[in-house]
Structure 1
Amino acid sequence: MIGLTKRIKIVDPWPALLLDDSTLVVADLHFGVEEELESVGVHIPTSVAPKVIKMVLEPLKELGLSELIVLGDVKHEFGYPSPSEWISTKKFIKTLKGSSINLKVVQGNHDNYIIAVLKEFDIELYKKALPWGKVTLTHGHIAPEEIESISNYVILGHEHPSILIRDSVGFKHRFKCFLHGQVDGRTLLVLPSLSPIAYGTDVNSNPSSTFLSPFLRDKDVLNMTPYAVEPGEGLQKFPKLRDIH
């Protein structure tokens, strides 16, 4: 466990946060992403949904928690959910309910039509953000100025940050990572994608002009600190982005 503040900790070795010692926070599950990959010729032999569900349940059980917040993109398809998305999302929710886990969902840009599934299980959907004391929880696709009463500490997803590291013999290694630091006078904590096949932006090798989130795009992010995570294996703090070569 790495404590970033008294209230916020990274859960080693998972792409998840512990908030107020009571609530697990994850982002970007992307149920159904395999179908899009299949459509462009990338074959995924089995569904990744069971792995995603396991990566949520294990830290919940290890820490004895009963509350989960998902920061958007539960499903992958932008439009109406595919059959596999319906099945995986419902299985996920039923598994949580079977373990007496209270679920809150902040809507992501991929979560169109998900409200029908959530209503079926009496789960509230937060459209833009979920205020949590002096912290704002949001997906990350909506600009800060569009979020009412936004705080100076924001936890978000959407970017799927990763870092690209070259070893001593020249091989490149890619790791999902958390990003933490000051941007435009506000402290940001960006979560990696929970999906094992949704990596996203290499934040140390691409200019911020290519970033997805309006919280990060075209911003000075070089003072942010990455925490690389290999789910189920380990967590490692790296130097600030400006010092990674």
Structure 2
Amino acid sequence: MASGASPSVEPVVGEPAAVADLGGERALLVADVHAGIEVGLRYERGVELDDRADERRERLCDLLAETGADRLVVLGDLAHRIAAPEGEEREELKALIRAVTDRVPMTLVEGNHDAGVAEAFAADLDVIGTGGGVLDGGEGDDDSRAETGGIGVCHGHTWPDPALLDADVVCMGHEHPQVRLEDSVGGSRVERAWLRGRIDPGAFVEGGDPDAIGAGDPPELVVFPAFNERSGGTWMNVDGQSFLAPFLPDALPAGDAYLLNGTRLGDFRRI
């Protein structure tokens, strides 16, 4: 996915994560961690799964070390249950946030599953609201920061702040894009995927307000795969599936899908 991708955001090969160069700061971006998913599935569906809380926490910390990131940015749905965190889910969140913030600062872009998370951990997290925001690093000299419009971030479950159209690239989660791949003998497997392409500004802004559209080329949209492999997702190549974000697929008139290993699958509408 490096070829043709935004120079400011580079996926980590083989991982549902990317590194963003914010000028004076290097950030690791992930989406849809869904901490506490096993507790949620037990409560919601009566499904019993082995607990992978430790594995999720260790993967995040390993990625921070491997990429040399100065910050972790979660593009929404840090938590799983749509309620204030409690019980085992809260304990997992507490341990995960402590492990990360012992190393680097952590930013949460609020998602639809994060009700109460920002309040519960207000002393530990920097929080960006549901409309999203633009990361510019906050450091570095003025000249280096002026060369970029920054990285726009949102979860994607609501209409985004029109200011994101002034960014160079917009990163979002929420969709959990995935594809079903079949072999020559009829076997199939599910793979998480990235989506990327240029935004249609008129479809990205609620109501297509022309006054909200900035000058210049529109930013690239990067839709992140879910960090949590158990969280399901939107099928790109299965009939009857629909997008979750109110601005998709209209805001992505032409976009490519990629596997985590970087394999380009081409136009997501034709996979």
TM-score normalised by the chain length of structure 2: 0.79
Q: Deviations over 1:117-158 (max 9, x none)?
A: 32232x2211121212423100111113xx141225321000
Alignment of 1:128-143 (within 5 A): 128-133=131-136, 134=149, 135-143=151-159
Q: Distance in 1 between matches of 2:118 and 2:252?
A: 34
Aligned length: 233
Matched, 1:60 2:64: yes
Match among 220, 233, 249 for residue 200 of structure 1: 233
Q: Distance in 2 between matches of 1:197 and 1:85?
A: 15
Q: Which runs of 5+ in 2 are unaligned?
A: 137-148, 202-217
Q: Distance in 2 between matches of 1:97 and 1:150?
A: 27
- Alignment partner, residue 8 of structure 1: 9
Match among 117, 122, 125 for residue 119 of structure 1: 122
Higher strand share: 1
Q: Distance in 2 between matches of 1:28 and 1:242?
A: 23
- Alignment partner, residue 240 of structure 1: 267
Q: Distance in 1 between matches of 2:247 and 2:177?
A: 13
RMSD of aligned residue pairs (Cα, Å): 2.1
Contact 2:74 2:108 in 1 (8 A): yes
- Alignment partner, residue 81 of structure 1: 85
User: How far apart are residue 116 of structure 1 and its match?
Assistant: 2.7
Q: Distance in 2 between matches of 1:150 and 1:138?
A: 9
Q: Distance in 1 between matches of 2:86 and 2:121?
A: 16
Q: Deviations over 1:53-75 (max 9, x none)?
A: 22212221112222111111111
Q: Provide closer, same or farther for how the CA distance between residues 139 and 220 of structure 1 changes in structure 2, counting only shifts above 3 A.
A: closer
Q: Provide closer, same or farther for how the CA distance between residues 221 and 97 of structure 1 changes in structure 2, counting only shifts above 3 A.
A: closer
Deviates more, 1:71-80 or 1:53-62: 53-62
Q: Distance in 2 between matches of 1:242 and 1:129?
A: 26
User: How far apart are residue 222 of structure 1 and its match?
Assistant: 6.7
Structure (1 or 2) with the larger CA radius of gyration:
2
What letter is aligned with 1:57? C
- Alignment partner, residue 33 of structure 2: 29
Q: Distance in 2 between matches of 1:55 and 1:215?
A: 31
Q: Provide closer, same or farther for how the CA distance between residues 61 and 171 of structure 1 changes in structure 2, counting only shifts above 3 A.
A: same
Which segments of structure 1 move beyond 4 Å, counting only runs of 4 or more?
none
Alignment of 1:217-228 (within 5 A): 217=249, 219=250, 223-228=254-259
Q: Distance in 2 between matches of 1:88 and 1:36?
A: 12
Identity %: 28
- Alignment partner, residue 243 of structure 2: 211
Q: Deviations over 1:206-233 (max 9, x none)?
A: 456x21111315x27573211112xxxx
3-state SS of 2:120 partner: helix
Q: Distance in 1 between matches of 2:108 and 2:41?
A: 25
Q: Which runs of 5+ in 1 are unaligned?
A: none
Q: Distance in 2 between matches of 1:118 and 1:242?
A: 40
Contact 1:226 1:239 in 2 (8 A): yes
User: How far apart are residue 32 of structure 1 and its match?
Assistant: 1.3
3-state SS of 2:164 partner: coil
3-state SS of 2:121 partner: helix
Q: Distance in 1 between matches of 2:21 and 2:56?
A: 23
Q: Distance in 2 between matches of 1:176 and 1:109?
A: 21
